Amino acid sequence: MAYIKWGFLITIWSVFAAFLHYTLPQYDVVRIVNTYEERQELNDWTRIFWSTPDSQSQNIANRDVQFIQAFRPNGDAIVYRNEDTGWNWPPYFKFDTANLYTEANDAISTKDDPEWVAVLHYGWRNEFLSAFPNAITIKTATGPEDKPLNWFTIGFLILLAALFWAIYVRWRRFRRNRIDPVLEDVEDSFYAAGDAISDRRGRLRRWFSSWKS
């Protein structure tokens, strides 16, 4: 039973951690090499990896999506999608896809004369699922090591940890003051009832023994 309990808890926390890792913003320092627009099919379950900036997007089977091709400092390729999030989840309220596309084109550089930029994004890059991280902002970086400190994610995780700790402390206090006394009373009543039954059985045995003698 303990293995089932721990397996369930580990699964729940793993799913929650994956949700946070996908949703919270992250910085990448990259060199942009190209931008392009491509029509994407949205008629399968991979739709969850694409934005829904308006209600009409939930019904159409495909749409044109802008992409930003880049290279990391270690030479690995990375491709970002450039989609508005609108008022939907995650709540980044991104409405400037066209402006970001223009900034990305302006930051295109070559390997011989690189121009490094810090791309703030959320999401994952997965070739098998055709999932791309969504670029939110592009900032100029002084070099491949000039990665901005992610204050938003740090502050959010601190507040989330504080919230969980407050809930845990209040739950322990509530359990100690309200639940544990009730359980102790039930346990005491159970033992008292058991003692009373044992005493009655003892009397009955003694009564039968008196008749035998």
Question: With 0-12 CB in 10 A as exposed, 13-18 as middle and 19+ as buried, what is 90?
Answer: middle
- How far is CA 74 from each of CA 53, 134, 140, 209, rounded to the nearest angstrom? 33, 21, 18, 91
User: How confident is the prediction along the chain (213 residues), in pLDDT tens digits per residue?
Assistant: 677 878 888 999 999 999 999 999 999 999 999 999 988 777 665 667 777 655 445 555 677 899 999 999 999 999 999 999 888 888 899 999 999 999 999 999 999 999 999 999 999 988 887 789 999 999 999 999 999 999 999 999 999 999 999 999 988 888 888 776 766 666 666 655 555 566 566 555 655 555 555
* Helix, strand, coil fractions of the chain, as percent rounded to 5: 50, 25, 30
pLDDT value for 60? 58
The label of the residue with tokens 């609108």 reads 86
Per the structure block, which two tokens stand in for 112?
Answer: 């011989």
With contact defined as beta carbons under 8 Å apart, do 51 and 63 qualify?
Answer: no
Beta bridge pairs of residue 35? 68
How many whole angstroms separate alpha carbon 7 and alpha carbon 50?
31
Please give the model's pTM, rounded to 2 decimal places.
0.76
For position 37, what pLDDT does the model report?
93
In whole angstroms, give the CA distance from residue 115 to residue 144.
9
pLDDT at res. 179: 73
The DSSP symbol for 24 reads S
Q: What is the pLDDT of residue 57?
A: 52
pLDDT value, residue 79: 96
